[in-house]
Amino acid sequence: MNITVEQERSIIIEILTRMDVPLEHAEIVADVTVDANVKGFSSHGLGRFPQYVKGLKVGTIVTDAEIEIEKETSAMALINGNHIFGHVVAYKAMKIAIEKAKETGIGIVGVHDSNHFGVAGYYSDMAIMEDMIGLVMANTEPAVAPIGGKEPILGTNPLAIGIPSNKYYVSVDMATSASARGKLIEAIRKGQKIPENVALDADGNPTIDPEAALKGSILPFGTHKGYALSFMIEIIAGPLVKAAAGKAVKGTANPEKMCTKGDLMIVIDPSKFVDIDDFKEEVDGLIEEIKASGDQIFIPGDIEVMNINKAKVEGLPVDDALYKQILEISEELSINLNELLDK
């Protein structure tokens, strides 16, 4: 079945507020979750929502804490999220980074003791909307084995970069592994196989079985280059921001464990270097030069725009297994899901 953007937002907000999540926080979680779905990152959209509900139930996501700024200068801050929703912590961290960049040209905010924050590109988009460059990094529970090893030690460690432009949406949002862990979880839910050359089983053999992959390891993208990038993010989104690294990172996939991962938000104000209009014209010029080099040339962000336009027409797909999960959550909270969908 397909649902509309507003239906998905309503479902998320209704469930979260029934679970004592403040409305402001529920709205941020809903916005980030919908953003993932409309861009085509369904594994980080509504498909991840049952994980957040489980976190609320077992207490690894808390509803009554406050974000704490532990250290701060004119250009940086270190935030303790105190285990509230990762989406809320990341949103507020990016807001702080943007304000610091407006003053100093750059804002860097590190986060620890937060939670899974959904799709990284939502937060780099926040910088784009202020005519700034946004970079977002995070480490995650071990999923990737070092090159030549079998045991997962590094995370899928996402990286998102957004750049302002006059004419185009310029954004990359990617895991440093060959697949995001959420895509494996989604494949299990849908009863699907995963592509070849994505994962190894626990014995180090290639597998297309997502359950075997989760018990084994996901390959880094581009082998050595992806491994190197994941390794670096593990450190600058881990120990640098007072968060865990390696096998000590927990709670991004297993909601029953307190989350120990870290995030790093970086915002750069191009206007402190050059005239912002000139900068965006240069970006547009490069894009047009690239697009003129062949037929159907894509830049980072084009696929997301296509998915957004498709979602406006067709809505957001919800597979039967996910619908059943959302229905069960709703029934536990005495929510009439059909009534919400009829609105």
Confidence of residue 166 (pLDDT cuts 50, 70, 90): very high
Are residues 43 and 112 both part of a single domain? no
Are residues 53 and 74 both part of a single domain? no
Are residues 311 and 278 both part of a single domain? no
Instruction: Say if residue 343's pLDDT is above 80.
Output: no
- Of 213 and 343, the structure prediction assigns the larger pLDDT to 213
Q: Which helix (H) or strand (E) holds 162?
A: strand 159-163
Are residues 264 and 278 both part of a single domain? yes
Quote the pLDDT of residue 339.
86
CATH number of the domain within which 5 lies: 1.10.1530.10
Q: From CA 165, how far away is CA 153, in angstroms rounded?
A: 38
Are residues 251 and 121 both part of a single domain? yes
Are residues 43 and 85 both part of a single domain? no
Q: Does residue 126 lie within any of the structural domains?
A: yes
- Of 229, 235, 230, 191, nearest to 210 (Cα)? 191
Per the structure, how many domains does the chain have? 2
Q: From CA 110, how far away is CA 72, in angstroms rounded?
A: 10
Mean pLDDT of 263-286: 98
Query: 169 near 301, Cβ under 8 Å?
Result: yes
Are residues 100 and 172 both part of a single domain? yes
Task: Supply the mean pLDDT for the chain.
Answer: 95
Quote the pLDDT of residue 38.
97
Q: Does residue 322 lie within any of the structural domains?
A: yes
Quote the pLDDT of residue 185.
87
Confidence of residue 147 (pLDDT cuts 50, 70, 90): confident
Instruction: Say if residue 14's pLDDT is above 90.
Output: yes
Q: Does residue 331 lie within any of the structural domains?
A: yes
Q: Does residue 20 lie within any of the structural domains?
A: yes
- Which amino acid, one-letter code, is at 263? D
Q: Does residue 131 lie within any of the structural domains?
A: yes
Task: Give the model confidence (pLDDT) of 189-234 as tens digits.
Answer: 889 999 998 888 988 889 999 999 989 999 888 878 999 999 999 9
Confidence of residue 100 (pLDDT cuts 50, 70, 90): very high
- Of 37, 35, 12, nearest to 25 (Cα)? 12
Instruction: Say if residue 66's pLDDT is above 90.
Output: yes
Say how many residues make up the chain: 343
- Which amino acid, one-letter code, is at 112? H
Q: Does residue 190 lie within any of the structural domains?
A: no
**Cβ within 8 Å of residue 131, ≥6 positions away:** 164, 269, 270, 271, 276, 280
Are residues 285 and 267 both part of a single domain? yes
CATH number of the domain within which 135 lies: 3.30.1370.60
Are residues 151 and 285 both part of a single domain? yes
According to DSSP, the β-strands at 106-112 and 76-80 are: parallel
Are residues 143 and 32 both part of a single domain? no
Are residues 111 and 227 both part of a single domain? yes
Report CA dihedral (328, 332, 335, 336) to the nearest 10 degrees. Answer: 50
- Which amino acid, one-letter code, is at 197? N
Q: Does residue 86 lie within any of the structural domains?
A: yes
Q: From CA 50, how far away is CA 33, in angstroms rounded?
A: 12
Tokens 């529920």 sit on residue = 26
Quote the pLDDT of residue 50.
96
Quote the pLDDT of residue 232.
97
Range of the domain at 256: 67-177+220-300
Are residues 158 and 230 both part of a single domain? yes
- Longest distance between any two alpha carbons in the chain, whole Å: 57
Task: Give the model confidence (pLDDT) of 169-192 as tens digits.
Answer: 999 999 998 888 888 888 998 899
Confidence of residue 150 (pLDDT cuts 50, 70, 90): confident
Radius of gyration of the chain (CA): 20
According to DSSP, the β-strands at 133-138 and 159-163 are: antiparallel
Please measure the distance between the N-terminal and C-terminal CA atoms of the chain and give it in whole angstroms. 16
Task: Give the model confidence (pLDDT) of 20-55 as tens digits.
Answer: 999 999 999 999 999 999 999 988 999 999 999 999
Task: Give the model confidence (pLDDT) of 302-335 as tens digits.
Answer: 999 999 999 999 999 999 999 999 999 999 999 9
Q: Does residue 184 lie within any of the structural domains?
A: no
Mean pLDDT of 261-265: 98
